[in-house]
Amino acid sequence: MKKLLFLVITLILFNCNGNAQKENKKVYKVSKTDAEWKAELTDMQYYVLRKAGTERAFSSALNKNYKKGVYLCAACSTPLFKSEYKYDSGSGWPSFDREIKGNVAFGTDTNLGYTRDEEHCATCGGHLGHVFNDGPKTTGKRHCINGAALKFIPEK
């Protein structure tokens, strides 16, 4: 009887849905319905930015882009990375050693069964990629970003 009571109490405690356990949905400065995002973005941009997908390695023309300029969020045009921060990591995705402070936000991604540091646009919440601690000596960071999440504006 004590085991049964313990089991019931344990189940009640772990199944409570108090306010602290509810998902905290952040409201972003640029916020649209799923249908609006689908209408505005290409299929690949929607998959990456809104569904946290990943494009195939070496598939983005921005991976080998060495022009001077700024990389913006493909969904809301927020400046995210400067070309001077870009380097060739050999990973197959555009890589940067730092972001434009305040325009990129970070979270935790456990979709593959282990924890990774996710990056998303601080303005619209669009998924960009992940940041790793195996970058160049300048910062030690490798911001591994999906090219589909970016648009490039060349310097004039």
> For residues 75 and 30, what is the distance between their CA atoms, to the nearest angstrom?
9
The conformation of residue 145, written as its DSSP 8-state character, comes to E
Sheet architecture: strand order including 150-154: 79-82, 69-73, 150-154
The DSSP H or E segment spanning 128 is strand 127-132
Query: What distances in angstroms separate CA 134 from CA 11, 95, 127, 131, one per listed residue?
Result: 42, 11, 21, 9
**Which residue matches tokens 């593959």?**
112
144 is catalytic: yes
Catalytic residue chosen out of the listed positions 73, 121, 124, 144: 144
Catalytically active residues, by annotation: 144
